[in-house]
């Protein structure tokens, strides 16, 4: 079990990035948060401890990569009956040995659309609505309040931009621009809504509300697969269920499980995504790590016991996994 007071000692053991030699000569794609070792048919997704906000990498947070990978794995195992997913048998982080941050997956042809599902009028959707704009092409009725629950969840897709910020797109634009064909898009919509329903059900058992999330789908041999991460605090917003109604009635901010406090610290220090980012003090990194660990424990109902020790031994484990399993 990790105590908050112990996290400081782990700050300099954060996993910043996967070194070249751990990839054993295989090509590495470096995403904002994950380093992806590319094989022919499979990938090793290595979640680093990097933290991004407003689409910029700002610091590292100990245990974050492992927490995220293992929360996703928890959800993939509980949603596999809804739609096929990319995790290979024995490929979940706790099954690979010597690491907790990596996932061995089937390589998919990714669709260029991020499938955002929202259960509540929150975040950027609220900001758009407040300013009288449609939300991904959807005109919402007048008179809604901040953080109000939608009668049924809404899909508000955005394009997956290669660089810079994502662009909201409507269902019509997705089909008209040929981003995804109508048949597969309809299949994606029903899979996304079913996943979200399962997410809300299991979150409720943990005393949480799954507020919104983002899915990424791909195809393998023409069939649809759920890829990337699933209901992790990086791709999702969670609120605590018990305080929702009173805070909603008084229009107070909701108690959040995710990295919103980190974003708020940045905004309070004058950073909203443009210009030079402030350097993140240790106490903010520790508080954020603590949040992620609590998120793991709340969602899974299990105590977080890290599987990774330090970057050196973890890199050795990752190199072994690449050599043995990634072809």
Ligand X SMILES: Nc1ncnc2c1ncn2[C@@H]1O[C@H](COP(=O)(O)OP(=O)(O)O)[C@@H](O)[C@H]1O
Residues in contact with ligand X by CB under 6 A are 31-34, 36, 43, 86, 105-108, 110, 216, 218, 227-228
Q: Which is nearer to ligand X, 234 or 314 (CB)?
A: 234
311 three-class SS: helix
Q: Which is nearer to ligand X, 49 or 216 (CB)?
A: 216
Q: Which is nearer to ligand X, 32 or 167 (CB)?
A: 32
Round to whole Å and give the CA distance between 85 and 78: 11
Q: What is the smallest separation between the CB atom of 108 and ligand X, expressed in angstroms?
A: 4
Contacts of 33 (CB under 8 A, 6+ apart): 47, 48, 50, 51, 52, 57, 65, 68, 234
Q: Both tokens of residue 31?
A: 């995403």
Round to whole Å and give the CA distance between 116 and 98: 33
In contact, 235 and 214? CB cutoff 8 Å: yes
Look-up: residue for tokens 């492992």?
Answer: 66
Round to whole Å and give the CA distance between 24 and 110: 25
Q: Which is nearer to ligand X, 212 or 228 (CB)?
A: 228
Q: What is the smallest separation between the CB atom of 134 and ligand X, expressed in angstroms?
A: 25
Q: Which is nearer to ligand X, 2 or 110 (CB)?
A: 110
Q: Which is nearer to ligand X, 109 or 269 (CB)?
A: 109
Q: What is the smallest separation between the CB atom of 283 and ligand X, expressed in angstroms?
A: 26
Q: What is the smallest separation between the CB atom of 240 and ligand X, expressed in angstroms?
A: 26
In contact, 93 and 59? CB cutoff 8 Å: no
Contacts of 307 (CB under 8 A, 6+ apart): 66, 93, 94, 98, 99, 100
Q: What is the smallest separation between the CB atom of 107 and ligand X, expressed in angstroms?
A: 5
Q: Which is nearer to ligand X, 33 or 317 (CB)?
A: 33
Closest residue to bound ligand X by CB: 31
Q: Which is nearer to ligand X, 115 or 227 (CB)?
A: 227
Which of 198, 203, 3 has the alpha carbon at shortest distance from 83?
198
Q: Both tokens of residue 191?
A: 């899979």
Round to whole Å and give the CA distance between 239 and 255: 6
Round to whole Å and give the CA distance between 55 and 227: 20
Round to whole Å and give the CA distance between 67 and 300: 11
| N-to-C CA span, the chain | 36
């Amino acid at each position: 079990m990790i105590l908050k007071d112990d996290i400081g000692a782990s700050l300099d053991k954060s996993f910043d990035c996967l070194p070249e030699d751990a990839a054993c000569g295989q090509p590495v794609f470096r995403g904002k948060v994950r380093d992806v070792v590319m094989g022919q048919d499979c990938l090793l997704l290595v979640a680093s401890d990097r933290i991004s906000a407003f689409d910029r990498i700002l610091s590292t947070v100990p245990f974050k990569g492992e927490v995220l990978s293992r929360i996703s794995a928890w959800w993939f195992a509980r949603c596999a009956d809804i739609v096929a997913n990319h995790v290979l048998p024995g490929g979940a982080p706790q099954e690979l040995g010597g690491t907790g941050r990596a996932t061995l997956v089937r390589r998919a042809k990714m669709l260029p659309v991020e499938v955002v599902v929202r259960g509540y009028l929150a975040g950027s959707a609220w900001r758009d609505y407040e300013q009288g704009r449609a939300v991904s092409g959807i005109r919402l009725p007048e008179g809604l309040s901040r953080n109000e629950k939608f009668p049924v969840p809404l899909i508000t897709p955005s394009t997956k931009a290669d660089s810079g910020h994502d662009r909201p797109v409507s269902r019509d634009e997705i089909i008209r621009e040929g981003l995804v064909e109508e048949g597969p898009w309809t299949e994606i919509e029903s899979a996304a809504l079913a996943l979200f329903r399962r997410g809300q059900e299991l979150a409720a058992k943990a005393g949480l509300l799954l507020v919104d999330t983002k899915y990424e789908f791909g195809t393998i041999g023409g069939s649809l697969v759920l890829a990337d991460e699933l209901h992790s605090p990086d791709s999702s917003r969670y609120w605590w269920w018990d305080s929702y109604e009173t805070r909603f009635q008084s229009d107070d901010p909701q108690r959040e499980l995710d990295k919103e406090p980190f974003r708020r610290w940045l905004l309070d220090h004058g950073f909203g995504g443009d210009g030079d980012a402030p350097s993140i003090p240790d106490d903010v990194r520790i508080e954020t790590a603590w949040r992620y660990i609590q998120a793991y424990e709340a969602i899974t109902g299990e105590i977080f016991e890290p599987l990774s020790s330090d970057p050196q031994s973890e890199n050795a484990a990752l190199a072994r996994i690449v050599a043995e399993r990634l072809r």
